[in-house]
């Protein structure tokens, strides 16, 4: 059941809920929604609706189709426009990365799973690795996506070669995800030619970011063991679209009832080929394996591979 929203900047998005009633609710994340082709949706101004939709704050009476659109045809037309707009921007971003020999990785998770902590550990480890090997250093940039604040960008400044901050609350309607046009905006602040690797920290959300191609070559998610082993089944789109899952905060396992076997089975049910990396961004466990995945030569533009073997 579709819902469509228009942004301040005039772009229109929609999302369709994946159950017949229109909502698949979960206490932590509000609702889940999915798209036929895995892209497109959003929220924002409430102009077309009686609500303005921050996730998790939808009153229970909002059930069923409240799209405000009369026909399926209109929905399809709007969706097609959104998909083609985002896909064109994503393709342009990817072309810019390729031209500069930059590998771009879209990193997603729910809020607090440990993306920023993992990125800080990643940036430090990349430097240490270069020092230890005497090889060329991977020049790493960060696109930091947050609804508000520069807190995470500030945490990574000094560790990364370049940092671009995207506050989605500022001119993007408070979006719960990054889309390709937003990342294109961030690229204006970056000198891609001076980078080998671009790590894009998406907005913390287990639903929306999965649906937008931002032009990255690879997608990874950080999953914290504190989130519970059922999450791949509850948020299958996110777990499906990524090529790697960093299972973070394993240092906390002794204090939790987390069932690793059940988690891996649930993950395999939705994504049997995902690379699973057991990690603690706090203690450093798994960071080497994560670096290996990040910098693996397959699917990399020539620049990064050349840099690593130099």
Can you read off the two tokens belonging to residue 288? 């080497």
Contact (CB, 8 A) for 124 and 159: yes
The distance of closest approach from Cβ of residue 50 to ligand GDP in the complex, given in angstroms and rounded to an integer, is 31
Q: Write the binding mask 80 to 119 for Mg ion: x where contact by CB under 5 A, - elsewhere.
A: -----------------------------------xx---
Can you read off the two tokens belonging to residue 151? 């807190």
Instruction: State the number of binding residues for ligand GDP (CB under 6 A).
Output: 18
Q: How far is CA 131 from the centre of its chain?
A: 30
- Specify the residue for token string 């000094």: 158
| Contact status: 163 vs ligand GDP (CB under 6 A) | no
Q: Which is nearer to ligand GDP, 34 or 122 (CB)?
A: 122
Q: Which residues is 269 bridged to in the sheet?
A: none
Q: Which is nearer to Mg ion, 1 or 165 (CB)?
A: 165
Q: Write the binding mask 201 to 230 for ligand GDP: x where contact by CB under 6 A, - elsewhere.
A: ---x-----------------x--------
The distance of closest approach from Cβ of residue 142 to ligand GDP in the complex, given in angstroms and rounded to an integer, is 12
| Contact status: 23 vs Mg ion (CB under 5 A) | no
* DSSP reduced 3-state for 179: coil
Q: Write the binding mask 105 to 134 for ligand GDP: x where contact by CB under 6 A, - elsewhere.
A: ----x-xxxxxxx-----------------
d(CA 233, CA 115): 21
Q: Which is nearer to Mg ion, 82 or 222 (CB)?
A: 222
d(CA 192, CA 207): 29
The distance of closest approach from Cβ of residue 21 to Mg ion in the complex, given in angstroms and rounded to an integer, is 33
Q: Which is nearer to ligand GDP, 276 or 306 (CB)?
A: 276
d(CA 99, CA 119): 24
Instruction: Count CA atoms closer than 13 A to 255's CA, side-chain side.
Output: 5
Options 42, 152, 161, 222; binder of Mg ion; rule CB under 5 A: 152
d(CA 59, CA 136): 54
Per DSSP, the residues of 17-66 read ESSTTS-EEETTTEEEEE-TTS--------TTSS----TT---TT--S--
109 binds, among ligand GDP, Mg ion, none (CB under 5 to 8 A by kind): ligand GDP
Q: Which is nearer to ligand GDP, 205 or 300 (CB)?
A: 205
d(CA 221, CA 246): 6
d(CA 63, CA 252): 38
Q: Which is nearer to Mg ion, 12 or 119 (CB)?
A: 119
Residue whose Cβ sits closest to ligand GDP: 114
CB proximity list for 73: less than 8 A, separation 6 or greater: none
Under the rule (CB under 6 A), what is the footprint of ligand GDP? 109, 111-117, 152, 204, 222, 248-249, 251-252, 280-282
Under the rule (CB under 5 A), what is the footprint of Mg ion? 115-116, 152
């Amino acid at each position: 059941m579709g819902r469509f929203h228009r942004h301040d900047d005039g772009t229109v998005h929609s999302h369709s809920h994946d159950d017949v009633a229109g909502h698949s609710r979960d206490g932590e994340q509000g609702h889940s929604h999915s798209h036929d082709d895995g892209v497109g949706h959003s929220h924002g101004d409430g102009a077309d609706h009686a609500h303005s939709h921050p996730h998790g704050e939808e009153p229970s009476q909002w059930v069923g189709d409240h799209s405000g659109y009369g026909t399926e045809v209109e929905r399809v037309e709007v969706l097609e426009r959104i998909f083609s707009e985002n896909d064109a921007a994503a393709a342009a971003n990817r072309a810019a990365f390729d031209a500069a020999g930059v590998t771009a990785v879209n990193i997603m998770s729910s809020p607090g799973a440990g993306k920023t902590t993992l990125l800080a550990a990643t940036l430090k480890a990349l430097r240490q690795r270069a020092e230890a090997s005497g090889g060329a250093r991977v020049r790493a940039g960060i696109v930091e996506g947050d609804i508000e604040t520069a807190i995470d960008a500030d945490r990574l400044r000094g560790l990364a070669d370049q940092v671009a901050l995207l506050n989605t609350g500022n001119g993007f309607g408070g979006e719960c995800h990054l889309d390709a046009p937003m990342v294109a905006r961030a690229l204006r602040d970056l000198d891609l030619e001076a980078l080998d690797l671009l790590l894009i920290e998406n907005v913390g959300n287990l639903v929306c970011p999965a649906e937008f191609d931002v032009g990255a070559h690879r997608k990874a998610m950080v999953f914290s063991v504190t989130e519970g082993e059922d999450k791949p089944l509850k948020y299958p789109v996110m777990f499906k679209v990524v090529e790697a899952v960093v299972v973070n905060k394993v240092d906390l396992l002794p204090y939790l009832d987390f069932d690793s076997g059940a988690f891996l089975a649930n993950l395999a049910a939705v994504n049997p080929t995902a690379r699973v990396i057991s990690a603690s961004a706090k203690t450093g466990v798994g960071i080497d394996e994560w670096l290996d995945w990040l910098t693996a030569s397959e699917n990399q533009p020539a620049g990064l591979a050349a840099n690593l073997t130099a």
